[in-house]
Structure 1
Amino acid sequence: MAQDLGAAREGTPPPDFDFSGRVVRVSDGDTVSVLDRNKQQHKVRLYGIDTPERDQPHGQASRAALDELVGSRQVGVVVVETDDYGRTVGTVYAGDDNVNLAMVAAGHAWWYRYYAPHERHLQAAERAARERRLGLWADSDPVPPWDWRRGRR
């Protein structure tokens, strides 16, 4: 299941990273742990995307896709904020490739428009993945994770 990261390039080099390191854990389709050169571990939530929960249809496939993209690899992180759970929220790069964008483009994630309404590249990637029925879009009516979580409370 080799991932084509061509869709994850916007023609410009990635920005300067706030930190970089090796991915030591992929928790799910939108969260990784990165060990920096000072041996500090950062839990990073990928900005602007949301993936199916682990027990939701396509949840395991989304996690596997992210693991294939970044598992045990060196990555750079551009921090957007720290969330209410203490996680770093940011954009992850593997080389020149925007991993957040790659997950949406391959149909493994939704554009999380509520938290990233101005990220039009994510919107365009989601639209293209839907049209091509990639990943979770192969299902006739996939349930967004925010609706899945609401229904389980």
Structure 2
Amino acid sequence: SVNFWGSLWTTRYKSLGIIDNRHSEYNISTVEVDGNTVPDGDGLYVYVNTDDPRESSNIPRAVLMAAVQRSEARAMKNYTRADELRQNIIQSGYQVIDFQNEEILARKYRIRLRGIDAPEMLMPFGEEAKKELAKLVHGKCLRVLVYGEDQYGRCVADIYCNGIFAQEVMLKKGLAWHYVAYDQRVEFATWQKEAQAKRTGLWVQSNPEKPWEWRKKNKR
């Protein structure tokens, strides 16, 4: 259960000094993640059930009305109208999804993994990083500790999947850099050094280019 796994990862990572809930703004628990929607090695999209107390009081009235009207349209087999309303819901940052054999209204979050920087998709190991993160989260309900938003409106967060710390996996497999300019956790530096010593992942290259330097040269 979520509580069982939650106690495992909390005990483990608090003992290492990696987790400090006092510094996170809020925590969210997601519905099952679709790994096919992972865009790269340090970002993902997640959905949170609006039955969650934090979400239920913040649903826009227009979204609630659209969800009710969509349900009514489907009951009357007016699927064209139901699809129109579903698109309105999606455009508002929500989604009607199947979860545990029932339809639920869920809020969409864009997540940026805190403290790591994976290779961009056009860089060596960019595709491998994306696939690894997608494999890790696919079909799983995640625990997300949000620490704020970045300049692109993404939630900067630590991600836990059945007791597994996502950033640890990415660093140890050599599929991300420790983003030391924004995160000084000692464990992150240690995990990166372990991967470098083993020449794992991107560290098989003698002098891999840093993602933040690549972006400076390849501005969109």
TM-score interval (norm. to shorter): 0.7 to 0.9
Task: Quote how far apart the aligned CAs of 1:13 are.
Answer: 5.3
For residues 1-153 of structure 1, what are the structure 2 equivalents within 5 Å? 12=12, 18-21=27-30, 22-24=32-34, 25-38=37-50, 39-116=106-183, 118-153=184-219
Contact 1:31-1:45 at 8 Å conserved across structures: yes
Flag the 1:142–1:10 CA change in 2: closer, same or farther, 3 A.
Answer: farther
Task: Quote how far apart the aligned CAs of 1:10 are.
Answer: 9.4
Q: CA RMSD in A?
A: 1.9
CA separation in 2, counterparts of 1:119 and 1:13? 12
SS of the residue corresponding to residue 142 of structure 1 reads coil
Counting strand residues as a fraction of each chain, which structure ranks higher?
Answer: 1
TM-score (norm 1): 0.87
CA separation in 1, counterparts of 2:181 and 2:190? 16
> Which entry has the higher C-alpha Rg, 1 or 2?
2
CA separation in 2, counterparts of 1:52 and 1:10? 29
Contact 1:13-1:96 at 8 Å conserved across structures: no
Deviations along 1:63-107, one digit per CA (max 9) or x if unpaired, are: 011011112321110011111111100000001111011101111
Counting helix residues as a fraction of each chain, which structure ranks higher?
Answer: 2
Report the more deviating stretch, 79-88 or 125-134.
79-88
Deviations along 1:101-129, one digit per CA (max 9) or x if unpaired, are: 1101111100000010x211110000000
SS of the residue corresponding to residue 189 of structure 2 reads helix
CA separation in 2, counterparts of 1:139 and 1:82? 32
TM-score (norm 2): 0.62
Q: Which runs of 5+ in 2 are unaligned?
A: 1-8, 51-105
Q: Which runs of 5+ in 1 are unaligned?
A: 1-8
Q: Partner of 1:3 in structure 2?
A: none
Aligned residues: 144
What one-letter code is carried by the residue in structure 2 that aligns with 1:98?
A: F
SS of the residue corresponding to residue 148 of structure 2 reads strand
Deviations along 1:26-77, one digit per CA (max 9) or x if unpaired, are: 1100001011122001100000000000011110010011011112321110
Percent identity (aligned): 31
